Structure 1
Amino acid sequence: MDASVIVVGAGPAGLMLAGELRLAGTDVIVLERLPAPTGESRGLGFTARTMEVFDQRGLLPRFGEIETSAQGHFGGQPVDFSILDGAHYGVKAVPQSRTEAILEEWAAGLGTDLRRGHEVVSFTDDGEGVDVEVAGPEGTYTLRTRFLVGCDGGRSTIRKSGGFDFPGTSATREMFLADVRGCEIEPRPIGETVARGMVMSAPLGDGVDRIIVCEQGAPPRRRTEPPAYEEVAAAWQRLTGQDISHGEPVWVSAFGDPARQVTEYRRGRVLLAGDSAHVHLPAGGQGMNASIQDSVNLGWKLAAVVAGRAPLSLLDTYHSERHPVGRRLLMNTSAQGKLFLSGDEMQPVRDVLAELIRYDVVSRHLAGMVSGLEIRYDVGEGDHPLLGMRMPHLELVVDDTKTSSTELLHPARGVLLDLAGDAALRASAEGWSDRLTIVAATTHEAPGQGRLAGATAVLVRPDGYVAWLAPGSTDSLAASLERWFGPARELPKQKG
C-alpha cells in the first residue's frame, strides 16, 4: 500500500479528515486537483458546533481573536441561539480561506502528504484495496490504498466514478455571490426580500462588501468559469436600484439550489464526505460545518479499522449516523430557500413563521436544527439526556491539575471519565487503555445535577459524543467499549 487512506480534495472536509487520521497514526495522502488554494471564501465563519469541534482538537487558538454572535436566522426570520442551553455562539467574520489555511497547516504539521495539482483519473476497488490512477504535473501514476475517501465537492469525481446513487432535485435557479471593493452598500446581513428576488450584503472590512443576488426567473446554468462581474452588478441594480458597476470585484461566483444526497456514504472501500455526499442551497452557512463534522465522525472510525482495532462494520455507523443529518440538512435548507427566494405568494407563510418563532419552543427547535446542536446519535439504550449527545465542556481536576473535558479530547482518543473515584470501573476498562484515556476527575457539577444530570462516569468517543454513562445506560461499559473501540487487548497476567 502507498497509503492506508487516500483522501481526494483539500477543502475543509478533506483537510479535517486528514488531520483526524494523522492524530490516530494513520498514514494518509491528500490529492487535490487545483495547484493552489483559490482564496475564495463562500463561508464566513462557522457554527457553535464546529467551534466545539475545533476546540476539542486544540485548533481554536490558531484563529486568534474571534468574534462570536448568538444571532442567526431561519429563512430570513431572526433566531437567537442563546435560547439554547449553554448559550451557544457561532463565529463570525472568519473567511473560509482562512479556515482552510489553518486546517492545512495543522494537517501538514501532523505529517499529511498533501499533493496539489494531482487529479484522480480513475480508480478500481478490488475488495482488498483501491488502485487509484492519478494525473500529476510530471505525468500519470498509480497509487494503491486500503480506503479511498471522496471529499472533492459537489461535482465529485469519486462519487460519479464510484457509481453512487445521487437522487434529489437539480438547481432551479442561478444566484450570484461576490466580494466587492469600493462601493457603499447598505448592510442587509440576514437578507432582504425585494420585489423580484432577495439580496444580502455585509461589510467585510477594508472597504470590501459581501453581496448575494438571488433574482427570480434566473435559470440555472452550468458554467465552466465564474460569471462576469458585469452580470452581478446588473442583477444587483435591477433588484436594488443601486449602481455598483464601478466597484472592484475581489472574486465572483455563481451557485444554485440543488438538493441531492447519496443513498449510501460507503460502497466497499470507497467513502464520501462533505459536499461529495450532499449538495444543497447554502442557507445559513451550514455546508462547511456539516462537511467538517462528517469528517470528524468518520476519521476515528476509519483509523480504528485501518489499525485492525475495530471491525469493518464500524464504518457502517458512519452512514447510519451522518446520513440522517444530511437528510435533515437538505430538508431545512430547501425550506429556507422557499421562504427566502419565493415571491409574494410565500408572504403568508413568512408571516406565520414570524409569529411562531416568538415561542421559545419553536425558536429552540429551529436554532438546534441549523446549528447542528440538536444532533443525537443512537449509541445504545438508556434514559440519560446526555446519551448520544455531545459531551459538554466541563472544567475538571485530574491529579491536582486543572483540565477540561474538551482538553482531554485533543489527542482524538476516547475518554472514560470517572467522576466518583471508582477504581474497579477504571480497572475494567484497562483492556482498552491503548486507545482510551482513563481518568479519575472531580468537577463541581458531579455527582450533582447540572449538565451531567447526576452521571458518575462518562464514556466519550473521540468525536466528542457520549457513548455510555452511569447511571443511565442499559448497556454495560464493556459492551459499549467493544462496540465503539473493538475487542479489548489481552492484558499481561499478574504474577502471584
Structure 2
Amino acid sequence: MQHDIVIVGAGPVGLMLACELRLAGAEVVVLDGRPGPEAHAPGVAVNPGVIELLEMRGLMEACRPDGFEFPMAHFAHIWLDPSALADRYPYNFSLPHGRLVHHLVERARALGADLRFGHRVVGVEQDEHRVETRVEGPAGGQTLLSRHLVGCDGVDSVVRRATGIAFPGHEEPFHGTVSDFSVATDSVLRQHLGAREYPAGLLAVSPLGPDTVRVLTAEFGVEPPEGDDAPGLAEIQGAVSRLAGVGFADGPPLWSARWSNATRLAERYRAGRVFLAGDAAHRHFPLGGQALSTGLDDAVNLGWKLAADLAGRAPEGLLDSYHDERHPVGARACLTTRAQAALLHPLTPLREVFAELVRFPDVNEYLVTMVGGTDTRYPLGQAGPDADPLLGRRLPGVAAAARAVPGLASAWEAGRAVLLDLRAGGGDAGTDLAGELAGREGLVDFVTAKPLPGVDAEAVLLRPDGRIAWTLPAGGDSTGLAAALAALFGEPAA
C-alpha cells in the first residue's frame, strides 16, 4: 500500500502539518518513536504569530483554558511595548507546549490522520516515484511507501541525515536546564518569579499552575555534564546557586530536560520527494516562542502545496517555493536569536544603549513584530518600491477579521483560499470578481465584507495559509487575478 504523505515526528510541527493535509483530503501517516504524545516540553510561550495560526484554524478556543494572555514582549529580555501595536498585533499567550500538542493530537485524530506512536524510523530511500521509509515498531520492522515524506523529527533528524542534507552552524559552550517543580507557599523559587540576567547567565521562574513553577537556567561559557540523562535535583540546585546565589529546598523535579546554545540551518528544505520542517530544518536559541512560530509557519506553508501536488493541480515550481519562502525565514530566526544571545551575555553597556533605542516607536514596532513572528513577508506579486506592502503578508488583524466577516472563519478553518471582496460598503462594484473563480469550486471561497482596518485594497486573494497573493487597488480591475490564481492552483478545470 502506498500512502500519500508520511510525516516523521508528532511534535507541534508534524501534527500541525498532518492537520493541514487532512483538511485538503490527503491520506496521512504520522510516525513517532516515543510511546505517546509528549506531555512535557520546554516551551511555554506562544507568540502572536502562533496565535494568528491557531485563530485561523479554529484551535485557539480549545487552548485558551490551558493558558493566559500577557501584554509583554522582549528582545534579549529588554522589554518592548506591544500595546503600541494593539490594533494589529495579537496578544502573547502563556501555554505549555505539551498542552498545545494535546490539542493538536485531538484535532489530527478528529480529521482522520493515522498517528502511530512507538514507531521509530531507521532508514529512508527514495526514487523519482516514491519514498520508502523503514520503521521499527511494536510489531517489528516494516517499510512504508509514500508519495512524499516530511521530516519533523527535531534537531537530530533521522530524515535529514538519511537524505544527506547538511545542517551547518555552530554551538558554543553552554549549560542549560529546564524543569518543573511543585512548590510550597514560602518557596524561595516563588520569590524569583520572572526572568533575570546575571553575570553568568539567566534564571527564569514561571508559574505553570497554583502550586507548580518552571525553572530555566542558562550558564554561558560552561560545558554541560557528560551524558544525555535529564538533569537531577542537585544539578539544577547548583545552577540556580551559581547564577543567583540562592538555594532552594523544593524537589525532586516533576520533569526536567537540557537545552543548548546551538544555531544550525539546513542547507535546503527539500531533497526530491523529502522535505524538512521545524527543528529538523532550523535550530536556534529558544526565545519568546520563535522556534514554535517558525516551525508552525513551515507546516502551514508546506501543507497546501503538498496537497495541490497530490491532487495533480500544483503549477510548476510550487513545491520548490516551500524552500524559497521558508529558508530565508529560518535564516532570519537564526540571525535574530543569535543577536539576542549576544546581548544577554556578557552583560555590557550595549544593553543600556539598546534599551534606550527601543523607546523610539519605529524601533519598538520593528522588534515587536520580529519577536512576535508577524513580520514575515513572502516575495509574492510585483517587486520593487511600487509593490503593494500587503502582498506576502497575512491579513492584518486575523482574529478581528474572522469575527467581523461572515464566511471567513469557516473558510480558514477548512484550509481553503479566499477571494475577499471588500466593496460591500461602497466602492466600484462593477468588476465581477466571483466570475474569476469559475473552475476552482471547492478550492477558493468568495467572501464579501465591508472595508477592514489596515487593508488598503478593495479586494484581496488569500492563499490557504492566509498570505495575501493579489490585491485590487481602489478603482482598479481584476488584472493579475487570473495569473495569481494560476500560480496557486494551476489552470482552472474545464
Query: By the TM > 0.5 criterion, same fold?
Result: yes
CA contact (8 A) 2:52 2:399 kept: no
Q: 1:360 to 1:402 in 2, by over 3 A?
A: closer
Q: Report the residue type matching 2:444 in the other structure.
A: L
3-state DSSP class of the match of 1:227? coil
Q: 1:77 to 1:34 in 2, by over 3 A?
A: same
Q: Which residue of 1 aligns with 2:200?
A: 196
1:355 corresponds to 2:356 = yes
CA contact (8 A) 1:73 1:190 kept: no
Q: Which residue of 1 aligns with 2:61?
A: 61
Q: 1:186 to 1:397 in 2, by over 3 A?
A: closer
Moved more, 80-89 or 177-186: 80-89
CA contact (8 A) 1:310 1:487 kept: no
Q: 1:353 to 1:212 in 2, by over 3 A?
A: same
Q: Which residue of 2 aligns with 1:177?
A: 178
Cα offset, 1:58, TM superposition: 1.1
Q: C-alpha deviations, 1:97-128, integer Å up to 9, x for none?
A: 11000001001100000000001110111111
CA distance in 2, matches of 1:378, 1:369: 17
CA distance in 2, matches of 1:468, 1:71: 33
Q: 1:141 to 1:89 in 2, by over 3 A?
A: same
Cα offset, 1:44, TM superposition: 1.1
CA distance in 2, matches of 1:227, 1:480: 52
Moved more, 413-422 or 111-120: 413-422
Within the candidate set 462, 465, 469, 1:463 is matched to: 465
Cα offset, 1:432, TM superposition: 1.8
3-state DSSP class of the match of 1:451? coil
Q: Which residue of 2 aligns with 1:313?
A: 317
Q: C-alpha deviations, 1:370-401, integer Å up to 9, x for none?
A: 11111111111163231211013387799xx9
CA contact (8 A) 1:18 1:30 kept: yes
CA distance in 2, matches of 1:476, 1:52: 27
Cα offset, 1:179, TM superposition: 1.0
1:442 corresponds to 2:449 = yes
CA distance in 2, matches of 1:280, 1:396: 33
Q: Which residue of 2 aligns with 1:248?
A: 252
Cα offset, 1:241, TM superposition: 2.4
Q: Which residue of 1 aligns with 2:303?
A: 299
Within the candidate set 404, 416, 434, 1:413 is matched to: 416
Q: Which residue of 2 aligns with 1:376?
A: 377
Q: Report the residue type matching 1:484 in the other structure.
A: L
Cα offset, 1:258, TM superposition: 0.6
CA distance in 2, matches of 1:353, 1:91: 22
Q: 1:188 to 1:282 in 2, by over 3 A?
A: farther
Q: Report the residue type matching 1:432 in the other structure.
A: R
CA distance in 2, matches of 1:55, 1:329: 23
CA contact (8 A) 1:190 1:200 kept: yes
Q: Which residue of 2 aligns with 1:14?
A: 14
Q: Which residue of 2 aligns with 1:261?
A: 265
Q: C-alpha deviations, 1:15-52, integer Å up to 9, x for none?
A: 00000000000000000110113321211131111111
CA contact (8 A) 2:193 2:204 kept: yes
Cα offset, 1:170, TM superposition: 2.0
1:31 corresponds to 2:34 = no
Cα offset, 1:350, TM superposition: 0.5
CA contact (8 A) 1:81 1:87 kept: no
CA contact (8 A) 1:7 1:151 kept: yes
Q: C-alpha deviations, 1:408-450, integer Å up to 9, x for none?
A: 31110111122334562211221222311123x131x26xxx3
CA contact (8 A) 2:78 2:355 kept: yes
Moved more, 61-70 or 428-437: 61-70
Q: Which residue of 2 aligns with 1:494?
A: none
Moved more, 110-119 or 61-70: 61-70
Q: Report the residue type matching 1:127 in the other structure.
A: E
CA contact (8 A) 2:390 2:468 kept: yes
CA contact (8 A) 1:173 1:256 kept: yes
Q: Report the residue type matching 1:348 in the other structure.
A: P
TM-score normalised to the size of structure 1? 0.91
CA distance in 1, matches of 2:439, 2:363: 45
TM-score normalised to the size of structure 2? 0.92
1:451 corresponds to 2:459 = no
3-state DSSP class of the match of 1:358? coil
Cα offset, 1:169, TM superposition: 0.7
CA distance in 2, matches of 1:459, 1:326: 25
Cα offset, 1:323, TM superposition: 0.8
Cα offset, 1:188, TM superposition: 5.1
Cα offset, 1:475, TM superposition: 6.3
CA contact (8 A) 2:306 2:319 kept: yes
3-state DSSP class of the match of 1:294? helix
CA contact (8 A) 1:305 1:312 kept: no
Q: 1:187 to 1:357 in 2, by over 3 A?
A: farther
Q: Percent identity, please.
A: 38
CA distance in 1, matches of 2:196, 2:12: 29
Cα offset, 1:186, TM superposition: 4.3
Q: 1:222 to 1:269 in 2, by over 3 A?
A: farther
Q: Report the residue type matching 1:11 in the other structure.
A: G
3-state DSSP class of the match of 1:433? coil
Where do 5+ consecutive residues of structure 2 fail to align? Answer: 424-428
